[in-house]
Amino acid sequence: MIRKALFWTHLAGGVTAGAIIIMMSATGVVLTYEAQWIHWAESRLDVETRPGTTALGLEEIRDRASAAGQEAHGTFAPATVTFRPGPGSAVQVSAAGGQRVYLNPYDGTLLATGFPRLEAFLEAAKGWHRWFNVGPDDRRRGRAWTGAANLVFLLMLCSGPILWVPRTRTWAQFRQVLFFRRGLRPRTRDFNWHNVLGVWSATPLLVIVASATVVSYAWAGDLVGWAAGDDAGRPASVAEPLVRAGLPDRAASEPPDVRQALLTAAGAGGGPQVGFRKAVLTLPRQGAATVSAQVYRGHPGQPQHLEALRLDLRTGQVVERDVYDDQPRARRFRSFLRYAHTGEYWGLAGQTIAGIASLATVVLGITGISMALRRFASFRRRHRQRS
């Protein structure tokens, strides 16, 4: 009786939310390597290294970016500067409105203002994944539909493993739901594929879908905070004693090269890994005493390898260092779940597993709907014969 109730609940969930689940899964496959695509596009802007030539300082970068950005975008107020390791790496300057420019690190020449085709494609995929790619006025409604479909999928994933267990628990029966079989008729093939893909992708899908629930619903996020002890009242960072950035002592009248100070501090480590993949510096306001920056030491979407620094503008030394382990537990949990959804938390391997699981879900949705339609057609035939 319980198994029958679970079956019809599972079937009803697939019929009502199947199309949305397929859409979200297909766009999830497209977005699997989003960060790597952007990194590849940015790496193509790298210029030839010029030995003996000094790279531009922070103020020069700000000035060149302002001029280039205003020419390209009309209005441009630089907000952050992104540096990557390697003397020939292009410097990215972003404005508060989302516009950005890429500059030659040596002379400030404008290299690009973005990657229109690639970014438009990825933005459209994200739009469909989150809210059917509708306009700003309808996004709340679209997000409500995708969030509800995701919740239905979570319930289906909880019932699926129970339904996949054969009634007769023999190895011969288990092989039929664990491995693909050849030469099957369409109906039996859909059943076999649905079971095999469901069994092998159940664990990563539970992680992906459960973490998406936290992103979609405030109550789920509050539940995570409660489970973590919700220590949000604890300071978000723990300041360490003054940390030397490896620069010589300077007099107060000698302003340091902030760019070099940041790159030296980032390369010196102090976090989970030595070296860095990129460093994003928030441009200081006039008269500020310190400047903040984020150093990414791991793959994209790995908050455990993200480090926040604060540098003294007078001396160029690191006065505060905030790493993942210093953050409140609830904040760490939420960061973990955000990037567990995409698999990025575990790096390239995690992304790949998430992408394969999303692709499997597309097939699960198609075979599930196909079996439901066949069941409905069979029911109609029986009904007609009786009448």
pLDDT of residue 271: 42
pLDDT of residue 101: 97
pLDDT of residue 241: 40
Place of tokens 């620094």: 309
Cα gap 48→245, rounded to integer Å: 28
Cα gap 263→357, rounded to integer Å: 38
By residue count, the chain amounts to 387
pLDDT of residue 235: 42
Cα–Cα distances (Å) from 145 to 16, 153, 208, in that order, read 11, 12, 18
Helical H segments across the chain, by residue range: 2-30, 34-43, 58-73, 116-131, 139-164, 171-178, 186-216, 218-227, 258-268, 329-340, 347-386
The contacts of residue 19 (CB under 8 Å, 6+ apart) are 365, 369
pLDDT of residue 264: 84
Please list the ranges in the chain whose pLDDT falls under 70: 230-255, 268-274
What's the number of CA atoms in the CB half-sphere (13 Å) around residue 259? 20
The two structure tokens encoding residue 251: 């007099």
The amino acid at residue 364 is: L
**Angle at which helices 139-164 and 116-131 pack, to 10 degrees?**
70
Cα–Cα distances (Å) from 52 to 49, 55, 87, 103, 109, in that order, read 9, 10, 11, 19, 18
Q: φ and ψ at 292, to 5 degrees? A: -105, 155
pLDDT of residue 186: 92
Partnered with residue 81 across adjacent β-strands are: 93, 281
Whether 366 and 22 have beta carbons less than 8 Å apart is answered as: yes
pLDDT of residue 255: 61
Hey, how many other C-beta atoms are within 10 angstroms of the C-beta on 225?
Answer: 19
Closest CA to 38 of 106, 2, 84: 84
Whether 360 and 197 have beta carbons less than 8 Å apart is answered as: yes
pLDDT of residue 239: 40
pLDDT of residue 363: 97
Degrees (nearest 5) of the Cα angle 16, 350, 124? 55
Digit-coded pLDDT (tens) for 193-211: 999 999 999 999 999 999 9
Whether 318 and 258 have beta carbons less than 8 Å apart is answered as: no
Degrees (nearest 5) of the Cα angle 37, 42, 43? 100
The two structure tokens encoding residue 134: 């509708």
